[in-house]
Amino acid sequence: MDKYFVFGVLGATLVLFVWNRWRYDIVALVALLVVAVAGLVPPDEVFKGLGHPAVVTVAAVLVLSRGLLDAGVVDTVARRLTRVGDRPVLQVAALTGLVALSSGFMNNVGALALFMPVAVWMSRQSGRSPSFLLMPLAFGSLLGGTLTLIGTPANIIISTYRNQSEALAFGMFDFLPVGAGLTLTGLVFITLVGWRLTPQREKPDSPEDLFEIEGYLTELRVPEGCKFAGRTLRALTGAVQEDADIVIIGLVHAGDRIEMPSMYRILREDDMLLIEADSESLKTVLDTTGLELAAKADKDAEDEENQDKKNSKQKELNLAEAIVSPDSPLVGRSAATLDLRKRNNVNVLAVARQGHRLKQRLSKIRFVAGDILLVQGDEDSLQSGLKDLGCLPLASRGLTIGKPRKVLLAVGIFGVALALTAFEIIPASMALAAAAVVMVLVGLIAPGNVYKSIDMPVIILLAAMLPIGQAMENTGGSRLIADGLLTLSRSAPPAVTIIILMGATMLLSNIVNNAAAAVLAAPVAIDIAQGMDASADPFLMAVAVGASCAFLTPIGHQSNTLVMAPGGYKFGDYWRMGLPLSIVVVATSVPLILWFWPLRQ
């Protein structure tokens, strides 16, 4: 009866995963505690998953990915994509190919996040909706994850399960023969056919019109006797914040122009304010504060007289367009609650979503991943501010974030770790963890960013699901599923069993995290191999491919979720390209698996 109890817990866990009311790491942790209280996991093994080599390796890869990003390794390549041209086939081929290659050696979500701003910018420059590039980009990142051991957490998990079949864990490039074949085939399909199946959402605003803000800029003067003379800018904005949406761009005092003045600066009579506001907000400001529209003719002479003085004193301000990443602290919050000028020394002037500028008040907009922000600040503030806010600059501005480029050093450290793993000198978990430490010691990663770069929900999910998977195996649950699959395919060739196993894992991966799918399916694969008196390798490879190729839904993988908002996709849009791509993957990978990993060795 124990195995049926485990099945019940897993069933409830999957339902909660799909429901998505609670975070998947919390659901997995509760499931682990339930199984442990039932006595199916020994007390001393409940939290043993935190020290599992697979969990350590995943954490190390996430830290290394941060180091490669901060050093500018991927960014260096990404910016060359702006020379590809306007032809959609070339854009899809270049973007998808490079993100796939990058995803083989770093966290695929991180690689996607780096290339996504380039894709959005290329779409805008071509006058097309981002929807035709972003889904191919996400699917390319999933395909690239099949190339190496560290391409995706699913591969790392499958590697450790191989030890249970009395064989060494899979090495760094053991996945490459199958992964390279299916990735190349998948990329050809996406480039020639797949992108044409993506939904073509409404044409976006042109690059010139998306953030056309000149019509929103107005100059106001503090007249004699104004009630706000002698008070701070904060008092002024606070008096109208409930009814008007304004951004103070600059202040002119005694002939000196001050860009982005402190909100605690005292206003004086005859000071001039440059504000961004729509017509309704402008009227509210004028009616409420007693400020008056500046007479341009009256100030022209003064501006000319003091132009040299202003240019020498003011710090040059830049405009930058940046995209909100999924782990940004902006997500779910509004500009009004963040006080970005005070904390980050940047102004948010406008927000665009799915290719169109949002017209509602900035203070009321709750940011979502994929929003494009028009921000203002001096160069140093933009560099540090965007990084702190988790925003990635669009390629059009030529702005980079992070530390000065140390590309060769980062690549060298990472390459040594790969070599140590590939030649089996030390285990992958040790080599990659050591490389992460070295990156911190040489300054490629700030110590404060080490733990920020680790996706703790994924770590907790893995640490919780591994003991549950072991409980399913110990109670005979995985054996029961394996016997059912063997009975189903008894009169069919072994390739059919592999197809069924891969297809079932692929479907499971589309509704739960791919790491969880790998944990649940790997014991079944081993039991099937034992039942057929065959090598476990082809079945484990089938699980690795199935767990990594979640193309049917936006919830199966973070990459799919990341592009949903900026691409304007709906839940049902993914299967249009995802279903034929899944068929292509199965048709390509099964022959490759049987060729490189035969049933009898």
Task: Give the start-to-end residue ranges of the domains of the chain.
Answer: 2-204+411-596, 209-313, 319-397
Kindly compute the dihedral angle of the four CA atoms of residues 307, 308, 309, 310, in this order, to the nearest 10 degrees: 50
The CATH number of the domain covering residues in 319-397: 3.30.70.1450
252 or 183, higher pLDDT: 183
Whole-angstrom distance, CA of residue 583 vs CA of residue 309: 67
Given a contact cutoff of 8 angstroms between Cβ atoms, the answer to whether 216 and 376 are in contact is no
Q: How many residues does the chain have?
A: 601
Q: Which residues contact 368 (CB under 8 A, 6 or more apart)?
A: 324, 331, 332, 353, 565
CATH fold of 209-313 reads Alpha-Beta Plaits (3.30.70)
Given a contact cutoff of 8 angstroms between Cβ atoms, the answer to whether 69 and 107 are in contact is no
Whole-angstrom distance, CA of residue 147 vs CA of residue 155: 9
Q: How many beta carbons lie within 10 A of that of residue 109, not counting itself?
A: 25
The answer, yes or no, to whether residue 174 has pLDDT greater than 90, is: yes
Q: Which residues contact 497 (CB under 8 A, 6 or more apart)?
A: 485, 486, 489, 528, 532, 539
247-292 tens-digit pLDDT:
888 888 887 878 778 888 899 888 888 887 766 677 788 888 888 8
CB-count exposure of residue 202 (10 Å: 0-12, 13-18, 19+): exposed
The answer, yes or no, to whether residue 157 has pLDDT greater than 90, is: yes
Angle between helices 574-596 and 176-192 (to 10 degrees): 150
Given a contact cutoff of 8 angstroms between Cβ atoms, the answer to whether 519 and 533 are in contact is no
Whole-angstrom distance, CA of residue 543 vs CA of residue 527: 13
Task: Give pLDDT, residue 22.
Answer: 86
One fold for both 209-313 and 319-397?
yes
308-360 tens-digit pLDDT:
444 434 445 677 778 887 678 888 888 767 777 777 778 787 788 766 777 67
The answer, yes or no, to whether residue 402 has pLDDT greater than 80, is: no
